[in-house]
Amino acid sequence: MSPPHTIRRIVLTGFMGAGKSTVGAILAQRIGWEFVDADTVIESRAEKTVAEIFAQRGEAVFRALEVEAIREYALHDSLVLALGGGAIETEATRKLLATLDRSCILFLDAPLDILVARCLAQPAAAERPVLADREGLLRRFNARLPYYRNAHLTIATAGLSPQAVVTRILEAIEKRCTTVAATQGVPIR
Ligand code: S3P
């Protein structure tokens, strides 16, 4: 299944463990688009891991690098872009996403306990600075939820394989484009 031609890019948001990177890579492969993970862009530019950037330069510097990386890729065509879970907290990123034309912003949703369990099951769990801050997790999650919920589409991922999430995403995009086109004559903005 291909996305409707009115859509030029798909942006994946959601908390850590939502599956943005895994799902994004499978989605991009399925529709023949490029996949870019914002964290990977930041790491290759800084020649440091996200954990090293947090530890050596602080979260504020990481967030500034994150906005730059997103700004550079957000206008690419035929692109699936996975944002880091905290990107949405930065106002400049939210403004950028709000102005993107012909784009579909997707929130991959799951309850916090499932997200944390998924992260802890990954070999790189110890390298997640935000996961290490257990006391701050719920606060961050609650602060971000309203922003995640501003996405065009929300996909509930609990209990679904990444492949099944991709199928749900494509179905939801197809349905939304049909509905929006029928009622307003415009594509997703
Ligand atoms: C972060 C999530 C991470 C990464 C960084 C900060 C966060 O990305 O950007 O560790 O603030 O939630 P993922 O959501 O891809 O794990």
What's the pLDDT tens digit per position in 39-57?
999 999 999 999 999 999 9
Q: Is the pLDDT of residue 61 over 60?
A: yes
C-alpha of residue 179 to centroid of ligand 1, in Å: 33
**123-181: pLDDT as tens digits:** 988 889 889 888 899 999 999 999 999 999 999 999 999 999 999 999 999 998 777 66
| pLDDT band, residue 183 (cuts 50/70/90) | low
Residue 107, judged by CB atoms within 10 A of its CB (0-12, 13-18, 19+), counts as buried
**68-109: pLDDT as tens digits:** 999 999 999 999 999 999 999 999 999 999 999 999 999 999
pLDDT of residue 1: 64
118 lines ligand 1 (CB under 6 A): no
C-alpha of residue 185 to centroid of ligand 1, in Å: 36
Q: Which helix (H) or strand (E) holds 37?
A: strand 34-37
For a mutational test of ligand 1's pocket, the pick from 35, 39, 57, 144, i.e. the residue with the most ligand atoms closer than 8 A to its C-beta, is 39
pLDDT of residue 8: 94
Give 137-145's long-range contacts (Cβ < 8 A, gap of 24+): 137/112, 138/112, 140/15, 140/86, 140/89, 141/15, 141/112, 141/115, 143/89, 144/15, 144/85, 144/86, 144/88, 144/89
pLDDT of residue 137: 94
Evaluate the CA torsion angle 38, 41, 45, 46 in order and state its sign: positive
pLDDT of residue 72: 95
43 lines ligand 1 (CB under 6 A): no
Gap between the Cα atoms of 50 and 55, Å rounded: 9
pLDDT of residue 27: 98
Q: Token pair for residue 153?
A: 């589409």
**Integer angstrom CA distances of residue 57 from 30, 70, 71, 72, 128:** 37, 19, 21, 22, 15
50 lines ligand 1 (CB under 6 A): yes
C-alpha of residue 131 to centroid of ligand 1, in Å: 9
C-alpha of residue 48 to centroid of ligand 1, in Å: 15
Q: Is the pLDDT of residue 185 over 60?
A: no
Q: Is the pLDDT of residue 186 over 70?
A: no
Ligand 1: atom nearest CA of 37 is 15
